[in-house]
Amino acid sequence: MKNFLAHTDEIRQKMLKEISCASIEDLFKQIPVKCKDFALANPLSEMEVQRQVKALAKKNKTEYANFVGGGVYNKFIPACVNYVAQRFEFLTAYTPYQPEISQGTLQVIYEYQTMISRLTGMDIANASMYDGGSACAEAVLMAHRVAKGKKNKALISDRLNPEYQNVVKTYAWAQGIEVEFFDKELPEDLSEYCCVLLQYPDYYGEIYEIQKPDTLLIVCANISALSVIKHLI
């Protein structure tokens, strides 16, 4: 286990010399033997502490509309969701690439893709991306490939999550794709853009009518919002 030690004796001596100590004992001698009386309350059991903390938490005012989540907001999740998702039929330690022992994972992915198709009205859906940022970036790259290099610009809403914007710009830079931004109104001429990328609802939680562009449209959509908003365009 010697190779896994954080500090060797030589390193410790150098550190001690730097703070003018001859040994570890000299270092700890600087700690006062007696500490001041902090006037701590009597100790409580775990149950009593939980009860007290919950009573304090109830004083917080939480029933307010909140639009500062940047696309992440409180949602009601039925209790059965976690119960079903954590059952051994679905939750396995294996990847979907081992279908003989991860049928549960494959079933969940299938159900998820079916749900996405129904909510978006798309003919097909997949579940291969890990996060929104990389999904947006991959969508832009796909649009660029569809354009076969004839359109080398991507138009992105400046109301897209800033972290997603950075991911897209990084991907696009590596592929030589020029990224430009717009606010709510699309420019009239979109002939040089391989796609338009926007977020709905946007990063600020705003919902607005989307203009149908004369090019490929990529929507970074909130799944919960799609369950209550019937149309985007």
- pLDDT of 65: 65
* DSSP state letter for 211: P
Give the helix ranges, DSSP H, for 58-161.
79-85, 103-120, 132-146
- pLDDT of 211: 77
Q: What is the pLDDT of residues 24-73, one digit of tens each?
A: 888 888 887 776 677 788 899 999 999 999 999 999 887 776 666 676 77
Does residue 38 fall inside a structural domain?
A: no
In this predicted structure, the answer to whether residue 97 has a pLDDT above a threshold of 80 is: no
Does residue 143 fall inside a structural domain?
A: yes
- pLDDT of 39: 79
User: d(Cα 111, Cα 119) in Å, to the nearest integer?
Assistant: 12
In this predicted structure, the answer to whether residue 2 has a pLDDT above a threshold of 60 is: no
Indicate the burial class of 73 (C-beta count within 10 angstroms; 0-12, 13-18, 19 or more).
middle
Sheet holding 193-200, edge to edge: 178-182, 153-157, 193-200, 216-221
Q: In b/e form, how buried is each residue of 207-231, taking b as 16+ CB within 10 angstroms?
A: eeebeebebbbbbbbbeebbeeeee
Amino acid at 94: Y
- pLDDT of 94: 64
Closest by alpha carbon to 196, among 230, 219, 225? Answer: 219
Does residue 174 fall inside a structural domain?
A: yes
Q: What is the pLDDT averaged over residues 198-208?
A: 87
User: d(Cα 193, Cα 140) in Å, to the nearest integer?
Assistant: 11
For the chain, the residue count is 233
Number of domains in the chain: 1
Average model confidence (pLDDT) across the chain: 85
Does residue 46 fall inside a structural domain?
A: no
* DSSP state letter for 74: -
Does residue 188 fall inside a structural domain?
A: yes
Does residue 30 fall inside a structural domain?
A: no
Q: How distant, in Å, are the alpha carbons of 76, 86, 108, 171, 220 from that of 79?
A: 9, 12, 17, 38, 27
Instruction: Tell me the residue range of the domain where 211 lies.
Output: 132-226
Does residue 183 fall inside a structural domain?
A: yes
- What six digits make up the tokens of 97? 């690439």
Does residue 25 fall inside a structural domain?
A: no
- 199 near 157, Cβ under 8 Å? yes
Q: What is the pLDDT averaged over residues 193-198?
A: 96
Q: What is the pLDDT averaged over residues 199-203?
A: 88
